[in-house]
Amino acid sequence: MSTTTIDHAHDHAHGHDDHAHDHPVGLRRWLFATNHKDIGTLYLWFAFTMLLSGGVLALMIRTELFRPGLQFFQPEFFNQLTTMHGIVMVFGAIMPAFVGYANWMIPLQVGASDMAFARMNNFSFWLLPPAAILLASSFFVPGGATAAGWTLYAPLSTQMGPGMDMAIFALHLMGASSIMGSINIIVTILNMRAPGMTLMKMPMFCWTWLITAYLLIAVMPVLAGAITMTLTDRHFGTSFFNAAGGGDPVMYQHIFWFFGHPEVYIMILPAFGIVSQILPAFARKPLFGYASMVYATASIAILSFIVWAHHMFTTGMPVTSQLFFMYATMLIAVPTGVKVFNWIATMWKGSMTFETPMLFAVGFIFVFTMGGFTGLILAVTPIDIQLQDTYYVVAHFHYVLVAGSLFALFAGFYYWSPKWTGHMYSETRGKIHFWNSLVWFNVTFFPMHFLGLAGMPRRIADYSAQFTDFNMVASIGAFGFGLTQVYFLLFVVFPTIRGGAKAADKPWDGAEGLEWTVPSPAPFHTFETPPTVK
Amino acid sequence: MLGLSLTAAGFPAWAAEAAATAPGTYAGSGGPVIRELNLQPPATQIASEIYSLHTWMMVICLIIFVAVFGVMFYSILKHRKSLGHQAATFHESTSVEIAWTVVPFLIVIGMALPATRTVVGMKDTSNADITIKATGMQWKWGYDYLQGEGQGISFLSNLSTPRAQVGEPGIEPSEKRGDTYLMEVDNEVVVPVHKKVRIITTANDVIHSWSIPAFGVKQDAIPGFVRDTWFKADETGTYRGYCSELCGKEHAFMPIVVKVVTDAEYKVWVDGKLKELAALAEDPNKVWTIDELKTRGEKVYNTNCVACHQATGKGIPGSFASLDGSPVVNGPKLEQIQTVLNGKHSGKFAGEMPSWKQLSDTDIAAVITYTRNNWSNKAAENIVQPAEVLAARK
């Protein structure tokens, strides 16, 4: 108790000259953080830690798959690796990273002094570390971590050991965190915009996050329902997914994918937002078709609720359902196409420069669109049935999740880190990071299309020798990609935080938005008096 | 392990047989080939429709790719600040925006329409000549010929690749891998060419998926439910696929092999198989000697039990129970008979003992006798006769 008091006095002595409010330091600053920038930073570090952990799991997978045969891991442990890689990357890395960007940037972009519910903001972050600890420690309980695949299909999930229960609780925590984060984002955007900042003047990043937050609130409870039913099937004798007791294993898949497909857009819409901010800044030309971008984002979100069963064509649906879900899925290509065309029209006749944020944004468009094409191909039911659960699907979703979401996150880091740290990153190192990421990404995932077409199933610990060559290429690429991200941490992130050229308030001459009107680094409190937007 | 090597010993003869009935005009190998860049060569009408659909999609996507990225890279090269290009100020154009909403819509319809016919065709499982039920089990397939020529045939189909070719973590494989590594089985499904074969899928434990890429067939096998699919092979040959739904630890090790033969060959196979089954349907009241049961039990163990309980009988701590020193194996025999027949979910292990009802009385009696006399086990009740298993089934 006395320590706390001393700390408090210490804060008062040193914290007062800069800031109007008490500004705790050390552990208390982070544990009790209510400032949106501090919480944003916590989210970003959490997400990056999880990205590297999930990356280690991925590299273990690729090590085992370098050659046919079992060299390093038993198949049951291999299944734990693929499962945990998926859960860690989706719920631990990509989603929290976007929430981190939202925390940092949304108040700055709409001219708000902070997020609407500062203490809930703290709680929604601090639910994540316990979830991560549950996931990590589940490797050490009897039977190991859950090995049912990140989709946790019943009834395989009812066969698992306590690692499965730990994963269920971790997902509950992360789900609750996401819902609270979303409520905060919606209320901040709807209620705390600066005078004059109408909805249709908001930066695209705020728009995409607003829509994403609604998606999250709509579907996270659905996931919670599915995994709670799994939990009661496992321990309390219910039979939701057990045919012997009158349940239906396929019902789990319907519920899961009713969450799972909007989830895909939860992970990509904020990425669209980031790219839509960066392209105009470096083309020195306003975003083309702002209104149609907003409508396209909303259409994608609405369509995402009526396409879920395209993940389930091989479960044996009636022909009418197969046709409905094929047509509905293909429709998503229309608004997505509008976005890509708008981006290219934004670049068209601009005055472009290619600093690292722009490189990642253009790289995003190029590689993400390839993932879009394979998505279109997979939407065709007969082709999907041929390729379901093969490496083609693995290639497809890594093209949209790594080259899509992750590249956009990198683009956003290079774009906004001058505002966060007050320092400019090294352009040369940024370019090394970009080109290595782009090349190694394609070396890793492009050959997987061929493996999938030839019929190699996913989630297998060992494969027929015919698949060896492309697997070797993919494994080499994976290590290149992994090392590139270590380079990013050691040679870009740390040096930029510690020092580097002083960043101007507005380091990009084409950038627009309220975030560039505050000093770099952004002071602890910004927009205490709301700015007026003309 | 021994059982697997025994099946491997029979493998060259089987391979020669496959070569003898080698396909006439079918271009593929029936499975994947090295550095394959496209779908496997189709061997059915549906598979060739899928193949053409995929080609059609690739052509459209390639055209869009070249058009869209042609514009983008032209812009990247020409509209640069370093070339002194001044930024234009336009930021919307209703007509252009309507055009690039409507045109993709039409393209998408053009992609989906030709697929519609194939979807309807794939689902038409009526008027089949032969109906076969495929049952997914951890980790093998069971086949029952339900209707048509061959009705009554029933067998299990296990991976026949010896573990010595797979290796183990830290232990190099001691045998050279064959061309059909992980896609060869002890009993393949045999069907006649040019006949419509309906496959009914179901599963005993978790979801599996029955798939032959060259046929364009993939159908999940769902416990407690039946689903169906069909194929009509155009050419004789041996076609290979894998279980395509994560089903636990040995998911990579339960392939599917379908051998398509001529009508005459099929008749010969059916005759042989039915005779074989009749011979196997032993009198459950026959009294066996302990040595006969142990020898047979070892084979049964190596085919069905070794994946979980291991050759050492020690299982895998936390996942699969140890039989060596187990109180069930060394205790009263009735409890062990019940466990093998009905399965057991003690909750102590991540894995669950499935029911083995589908094995014959003799096989169950043999494998129980084997476990009771092997490793360090010296059970007091050291022999189980088929009649006792039969009695316990009631």
pLDDT at A7: 39
* B91-149 per-position pLDDT tens digit: 889 999 999 999 999 999 988 899 999 999 999 999 999 999 999 999 999 999 999 99
**End-to-end alpha-carbon separation of chain B, Å?**
33
pLDDT higher than 80, residue B302? yes
* B164-179 per-position pLDDT tens digit: 999 888 888 888 998 9
* A196-251 per-position pLDDT tens digit: 999 999 999 999 999 999 999 999 999 999 999 999 999 999 999 999 889 999 99
Catalytic positions of A: 85, 114, 150, 177-178, 261, 263, 265, 276, 310-311, 336, 339, 458
Place A31 in a pLDDT band, splitting at 50, 70 and 90: very high
pLDDT higher than 80, residue B340? yes
Place A13 in a pLDDT band, splitting at 50, 70 and 90: very low
Nearest CA in chain B to A78: B249
pLDDT at A14: 43
Residues of A in contact with B116 (CB under 8 A): 323, 326
* A417-432 per-position pLDDT tens digit: 999 999 999 999 999 9
Is B80's CB within 8 Å of A70's CB? no
In the predicted model, what is the mean pLDDT of residues A460-467?
Answer: 95
Contact of A385 with chain B, judged by CB distance below 8 Å, is answered with: yes
Contact of A386 with chain B, judged by CB distance below 8 Å, is answered with: yes
pLDDT at A22: 63
Chain A: nearest CA to B269, how far in angstroms?
28
pLDDT higher than 70, residue B1? no
Average pLDDT over chain A, rounded to an integer: 93
Least trusted range by pLDDT, from A64-68, A400-404, B4-8, B64-68: B4-8
pLDDT higher than 90, residue B347? no
- Tally of CB atoms within 10 A around B78: 12
Nearest CA in chain A to B55: A377
Q: How far does CA A115 lie from the centroid of its chain? A: 20
Task: Name the percent of chain B lying above pLDDT 70.
Answer: 93
pLDDT at A15: 40
AA identity, residue A279: L
Packing angle, helices A162-191 and A204-235, rounded to 10: 150
Question: Could you tell me whether strands B237-241 and B140-147 are parallel, antiparallel, or unpaired per DSSP bridges?
Answer: unpaired
Is A466's CB within 8 Å of B31's CB? yes
Q: What is the DSSP string of B58-100?
A: HHHHHHHHHHHHHHHHHHHHHSBGGGTPPP------HHHHHHH
In the predicted model, what is the mean pLDDT of residues A96-100?
Answer: 97
Q: From the list A147, A348, A383, which residue is nearest B53 (CB)?
A: A383
* B43-56 per-position pLDDT tens digit: 999 999 999 999 99
- ipTM of the predicted structure? 0.90
Q: How far does CA A250 lie from the centroid of its chain? A: 27
pLDDT higher than 80, residue B2? no
Q: From the list B75, B105, B169, which residue is nearest A344 (CB)?
A: B75
Place A21 in a pLDDT band, splitting at 50, 70 and 90: low
Question: Could you tell me whether strands B130-137 and B140-147 are parallel, antiparallel, or unpaired per DSSP bridges?
Answer: antiparallel
Place A289 in a pLDDT band, splitting at 50, 70 and 90: very high
Cβ-Cβ pairs closer than 8 A, A with B, add up to: 329
A 478-497 residues with CB < 8 A to B: none
pLDDT higher than 60, residue A2? no
Which tokens in the block code for residue A25? Answer: 């330091």
Chain A: nearest CA to B378, how far in angstroms?
29
